[in-house]
């Protein structure tokens, strides 16, 4: 056997849930490029686009987990989803990285970034309530290109799209950690006042240690099973004046079967909302000069999820993300453990028998995985 170029490379595990991926990593130049191609693939509507998107994300996720910067092509050897003799998709990642190493940029990535399709799709999909299929319709069927086009054309919009346009500027500014903590505190205080013992847990990007995000994700629960019931309606009513919009999803208590587990959708009672965030000091300002009141709040996205205690650990794991981490741990569990993992629980693949756990640590342990704290799930 030939001497290995870099001993660390053949120790990179296949699944992202088997390795640490910190928020700050050494290969941003490459991962940004691969994620442009991932995003572009997700905007497209051909039968292979989902698989293409996944291949770019897997390549990117491998690079994010490396404890060093890639500086020459030889270091790509044996990297999962980048160097593979039997995968043309891995080859595509390798080609892009090689181009960047040699030229400083990738023609393909530059071409995509500057394409009219990509630019318009990015704008359209950046509107709350708009996904790729609506955006494609606007681009291809109606020949729309800019945000101005969307605003001036008399389009039939859903309620959330209308609000997405109305609060577009606010919602496209990042939600800052300080603001998130402020909203979490208000929701927590309101919940505990309504029912003593209630817990409000920050999940999503902020739990992974990000200092800004596109929304705040909060799980409402209670240490006594059943005591979480009714909390969503109560807290929304109590905080009514703080919300601009609430889109409630009823819970579906029917046990998820193995067949449904492919979908990342869960059955919790939840609410996707737009929160009216009042900036610090706005109360004082409004007293001294009522005219200033308008400028003192901003629309912010908040997700609230209500979870019974017996499913709490699974829901926290499922909502902490990233989306790719969730996909990877579920794929690992199914392929390597013959189990099904969802935000509700863990089940045997053949008999659909439930396996309980009270903490994320216990879930990792029962899955034969080393525990990864949320800050190491940034794939
Ligand atoms: P960001 O908001 O900071 O930008 O990033 P994020 O917190 O990682 O993304 P997110 O879109 O808020 O999603 C957080 C996690 O929630 C994600 O890993 C998947 C999980 N999740 C579910 N069900 C659902 C659902 O119905 N919609 C969304 N958007 N996320 C869901 O388990
Ligand atoms: Mn989030
Ligand atoms: Mn969210």
Closest of 275, 83, 87, 43 to residue 175, by C-alpha: 275
Confidence label for 4 from pLDDT (cuts 50, 70 and 90) = very low
Alpha-carbon span 151 to 130, nearest angstrom: 14
How many Å lie between the centroid of ligand 3 and the Cα of residue 374?
16
303 is in an annotated binding site: yes
Confidence label for 87 from pLDDT (cuts 50, 70 and 90) = confident
Q: What was the ipTM of the complex prediction?
A: 0.95
Give the residue whose CA is nearest to atom 14 of ligand 1: 204
Distances (CA, A) of 116 to 87, 104, 122, 140, 143: 30, 23, 10, 11, 11
- Per the DSSP assignment, residues forming a β-bridge with 276 are 299
- Do 80 and 12 touch, CB atoms closer than 8 A? yes
- Please give the model's pTM, rounded to 2 decimal places: 0.93
What domains does the chain contain, in order, with CATH numbers?
2-112 (1.10.150.110), 119-166 (1.10.150.20), 175-310 (3.30.460.10), 318-376 (3.30.210.10)
Looking from the CA of residue 210, the nearest atom of ligand 1 is: 3
Q: What pLDDT does 5 receive?
A: 44
Pocket test for ligand 1, best of 160, 201, 205 (most atoms within 8 A of CB): 205
Alpha-carbon span 217 to 303, nearest angstrom: 5
Contacts of 373 (CB under 8 A, 6+ apart): none
Interval 335-371: pLDDT, tens:
999 999 999 999 999 999 999 999 999 999 999 999 9
Q: Which of 64, 89, 94, 270 is catalytic?
A: 89
Query: Is ligand 1 within 6 A of the CB of residue 228?
Result: no
Confidence label for 297 from pLDDT (cuts 50, 70 and 90) = very high
Closest of 198, 196, 203 to residue 222, by C-alpha: 198
358 is in an annotated binding site: no
Alpha-carbon span 153 to 151, nearest angstrom: 6
Interval 31-69: pLDDT, tens:
999 999 999 999 999 999 999 999 999 999 999 999 999
- Do 354 and 300 touch, CB atoms closer than 8 A? no
How many other CB atoms sit within 10 Å of the CB of residue 229? 14
């Amino acid at each position: 056997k030939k001497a290995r170029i870099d001993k660390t490379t053949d120790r990179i595990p296949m699944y992202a849930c088997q390795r640490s991926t910190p928020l700050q990593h050494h290969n941003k130049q490459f991962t940004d490029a691969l994620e442009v191609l991932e995003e572009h693939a997700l905007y497209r509507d051909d039968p292979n686009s989902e698989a293409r998107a996944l291949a770019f994300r897997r390549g990117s996720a491998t690079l994010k987990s490396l404890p060093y910067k890639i500086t020459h092509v030889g270091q790509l050897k044996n990297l999962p989803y980048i160097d593979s003799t039997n995968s043309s998709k891995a080859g595509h990642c390798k080609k892009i990285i090689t181009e960047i190493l040699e030229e400083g940029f990738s023609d393909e990535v530059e071409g995509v970034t500057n394409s009219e399709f990509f630019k318009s799709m990015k704008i359209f999909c950046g509107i709350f309530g708009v996904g790729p299929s609506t955006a494609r319709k606007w681009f291809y069927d109606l020949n729309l290109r800019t945000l101005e086009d969307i605003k001036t054309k008399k389009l039939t919009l859903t309620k959330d799209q209308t609000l997405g346009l109305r609060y577009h500027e606010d919602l496209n500014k990042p939600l800052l950690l300080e603001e998130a903590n402020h909203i979490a505190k208000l929701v927590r205080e309101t919940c505990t006042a309504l029912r003593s013992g209630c817990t409000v847990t920050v999940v999503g990007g902020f739990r992974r240690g990000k200092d800004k995000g596109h929304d705040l994700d909060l799980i409402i629960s209670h240490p006594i099973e059943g005591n979480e019931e009714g909390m969503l309606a109560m807290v929304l009513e109590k905080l009514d004046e703080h919300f601009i919009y609430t889109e409630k999803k009823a819970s579906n208590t029917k046990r998820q079967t193995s067949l449904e587990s492919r979908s990342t959708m869960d059955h919790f009672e939840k609410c996707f909302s737009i929160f009216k965030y009042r900036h610090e000091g706005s109360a004082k300002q409004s007293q001294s000069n009522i005219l200033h009141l308008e400028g003192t709040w901003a629309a912010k996205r908040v997700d609230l999820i209500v979870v019974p205690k017996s499913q709490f650990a699974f829901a926290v794991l499922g909502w902490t993300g990233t989306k790719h981490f969730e996909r990877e741990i579920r794929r690992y569990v199914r392929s390597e453990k013959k189990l099904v993992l969802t935000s509700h629980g863990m089940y045997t693949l053949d008999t659909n028998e439930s396996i309980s756990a009270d903490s994320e640590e216990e879930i990792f342990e029962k899955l034969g995985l080393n525990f990864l704290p949320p800050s190491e799930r940034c794939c």
